[in-house]
Amino acid sequence: MLKIGVLVSGRGSNLQAIIDAIEEKKISAEIAVVISNMPDAFALERAKKHGIKTAVVDSKKITDKAVYEEQVIKVLEERKADLICLAGYMRLLSPAFVKRFSGRIMNIHPALLPAFPGLHVQKKALEYGVKFSGCTVHFVDDGCDTGPIIIQAVVPVLDDDTEKTLSESILEQEHRIYPEAIRLFAENKLKIEGRRVKIV
């Protein structure tokens, strides 16, 4: 069975969507560990409520990135994680970390990549005047939100949308497509060919 390590920094709503999909038997997998760089992340409470092992590697106390990441890697390898899922994890991974788990790290981003990478993307989408936004699940590479795209979902941008309402519409789709991408990975249905991910 696929073992997942989830990296979090905040409230963990995408973590909850993954937990729910596993408990509903939509994904043949288990969450081996939830690791947070923030000791007070609500995502840790969500994990504990479901009996999932948690770990905190405090990025404010460990300021050397290489040392910090080695500790994260140690936990992931101790828990034998096959797939690493970033769920609201607010840190960029180093090339060394990405290489260590090449083709086995996923991220969810609240925009239709390659448009609007990085932070504050709903604000950028509204300022730009796009008619559609959405979310993207992608494999992680050395760049910021630049890895091969697995699944995307489209959300219309309404005339009266605010950053908050657009975020909520997109989040609803995030909770749908992230578990789906994990399911495809668990069933060995994802094949990376250069920049493209084929569902086989």
For residue range 17-38, list pLDDT tens digits in order: 999 999 999 999 999 999 999 9
d(CA 17, CA 163): 22
Q: How confident is the model at residue 162 (pLDDT cuts 50, 70, 90)?
A: very high
Q: Mean pLDDT score of the chain, rounded to an integer?
A: 98
Q: Which of 109, 120, 138, 175 is catalytic?
A: 109
What is the architecture, at CATH level 2, of domain 2-199? Answer: 3-Layer(aba) Sandwich (3.40)
43-84 tens-digit pLDDT: 999 999 999 999 999 999 999 999 999 999 999 999 999 999
The whole-angstrom distance between residue 121's C-alpha and the CA centroid of its chain comes to 16
Contacts of 63 (CB under 8 A, 6+ apart): none
| CA proximity to 67, closest of 94, 29, 47 | 94
Using pLDDT thresholds of 50, 70 and 90, give the confidence band for residue 135. very high
Quick one: pLDDT at residue 184?
98
CA nearest to 62, candidates 84, 32, 91? 91
Task: Give, in degrees to the nearest 5, the angle at Cα 176 between 88 and 196.
Answer: 80
Tell me what percent of the residues of the chain surpass a pLDDT of 70: 100
109 labelled catalytic: yes
Q: What is the pTM of this model?
A: 0.97
Using CA atoms of 79, 92, 188, 100 in order, give the dihedral in degrees to the nearest 10.
-60
Residue 16: how many other CB atoms lie within 10 Å = 18
Label residue 64 left, alpha or beta by phi (over 0 means left) and psi (-120 to 50 means alpha). Answer: beta
